[in-house]
Amino acid sequence: MSQAALSSLPSRLAASMPGYQLNFLTMPSAWTCGEVASAMMWSDTITLMILGQDFYATFIPHKTIADSSKVNEVLLCLSFDSRADVDAITQKAGAAGGKADVRPLQDMGFMYGRSFE
């Protein structure tokens, strides 16, 4: 069995799910807890656990969840097969209500990057 990475992210679940559903596969219902959590699979080895803020808080009982409109605590980078795929997901994120190109496009020849939140 290969090792897997599961990253848990706090979220306003109902509002954020349309954005995650753009390029992630929603996991079977056994991985989903209604308004509390939803698992979104990127690949065979990478899954995002999108957790409602109240549920996320149960994992960090003595800390406060970062307000993502004011501070950042993590950067997630995802690989794609082509520049066109990178452009497409960035455009989809913007169309779904996210903020596309929050920093300048990066083109280093061997690596091409765009951003959204």
Does residue 9 lie in a domain region?
yes
Rounded Cα–Cα distance for residues 58 and 70 (Å): 22
Rounded Cα–Cα distance for residues 68 and 42 (Å): 22
* pLDDT score of 30: 55
Check whether residue 53 and residue 81 sit in a common domain: no
Check whether residue 43 and residue 86 sit in a common domain: no
Q: Which of 43, 50, 46 is nearest to 18 (CA)?
A: 50
Rounded Cα–Cα distance for residues 65 and 82 (Å): 35
Check whether residue 41 and residue 89 sit in a common domain: no
Check whether residue 57 and residue 110 sit in a common domain: no
Amino acid making up residue 98: G
Amino acid making up residue 15: A
pLDDT tens, the chain, 117 aa long: 577 788 888 888 778 777 777 767 666 655 666 678 888 888 888 888 888 899 999 999 899 998 888 888 788 888 889 999 999 989 988 998 889 999 999 999 989 999 988
Check whether residue 16 and residue 54 sit in a common domain: yes
Domain enclosing residue 13, as ranges: 1-62
* pLDDT score of 25: 66
Check whether residue 48 and residue 86 sit in a common domain: no
Check whether residue 46 and residue 102 sit in a common domain: no
Q: Are strands 46-52 and 5-11 parallel, antiparallel or unpaired?
A: parallel
What is the dihedral sign for C-alpha 96, 83, 48, 77?
Answer: negative
Q: What secondary structure letter does DSSP report for 60?
A: S
**Structural domain tally of the chain?**
2
Last residue of a domain, one of 62, 86, 105: 62
CATH number of 34's domain: 3.10.180.10
Does residue 69 lie in a domain region?
no
Contact 101, 114 (CB under 8 A): yes
